[in-house]
A and B are shown apart, each in its own frame.
Chain A
Amino acid sequence: GAVVSQHPSWVICKSGTSVKIECRSLDFQATTMFWYRQFPKQSLMLMATSNEGSKATYEQGVEKDKFLINHASLTLSTLTVTSAHPEDSSFYICSAREVRRAETQYFGPGTRLLVL
């Protein structure tokens, strides 16, 4: 139980294009989903918190117009990196918090983004 999937697992795109990453909770309902960014050999940096049916809360320094987050249902949140640039290349990981055990976060497998 408590499985989180992400799609795609990796993507290569040209500078200036937009990339959408999906995060799904497969066997539970997630009231809240989180988006993290992880650079090589570094920790997870929280980018934003996404609640179903409401606007995402972004961490300080994260551009909301650059990283669009939509949480349309209790099982799906999407992160769109708009007008991607090489400095946006990173490992993006989502996590989901289960309704019944609300403090625990389960992580997706991550999406590796490379912007050329």
Chain B
Amino acid sequence: GENVEQHPSTLSVQEGDSAVIKCTYSDSASNYFPWYKQELGKRPQLIIDIRSNVGEKKDQRIAVTLNKTAKHFSLHITETQPEDSAVYFCAASRYGGSQGNLIFGKGTKLSVKP
């Protein structure tokens, strides 16, 4: 089955700096890769996603890149702000037919220092 590895487990940056979180996946059939942000005690919120037919996607300060050959994808946050502090989860899914379960990485706790 699919296995998703996420690094680093914790990340501390200064406000205004960039943050990068990396994930690798094992199932080459996975074709959907969302990123979720979870604040303490709250629900995971989808912040960006990418499908396997796209190499990069950007939404304001957030971007995701996908390398299908290497089976890894990354989240890039530019100009970080204190409110970006949260736990970020990557996930992979082999959507199609009866599949579609999200397999999550272990999460990255991002701390943005003012």
Which residues of A are interface residues toward B (Cβ below 8 A)? 4, 32, 34, 42-44, 46, 49, 93, 95, 97, 102-110
Contacts and interface: CB of A to CB of B under 8 A. Distances in A.
B61 interface: no
Interface size class on chain B is 20 to 34
Interface in B55-114: 89, 93, 95, 100-107
A43 B107 contact: yes
Interface in B4-36: 32, 34, 36
Given A44-B44, A93-B44, A104 B49 contact: yes
A97 B30 CA distance: 17
Nearest to B32: A103
Nearest to B36: A107
Contacts of A95: 102
Given A43-B89, A49-B101, A109 B32 contact: no
Nearest to A97: B100
B66 to A, nearest CB: 14
Interface of B: 32, 34, 36, 41-46, 49, 51, 89, 93, 95, 100-107
Given A46-B101, A46-B102, A104 B43 contact: no
A107 B105 CA distance: 16
Contacts of A4: 43
Given A93-B44, A103-B32, A110-B43, A43 B100 contact: no
B45 A107 contact: yes
29 contacts: A4-B43, A32-B100, A34-B102, A42-B106, A42-B107, A43-B89, A43-B105, A43-B106, A46-B103, A93-B43, A102-B95, A102-B100, A103-B51, A103-B93, A103-B95, A103-B100, A104-B34, A104-B49, A105-B34, A105-B102, A106-B46, A107-B43, A107-B44, A107-B45, A108-B43, A109-B42, A109-B43, A110-B41, A110-B43
A103 B49 CA distance: 10
Contacts of B32: 103
Contacts of B102: 34, 46, 95, 105
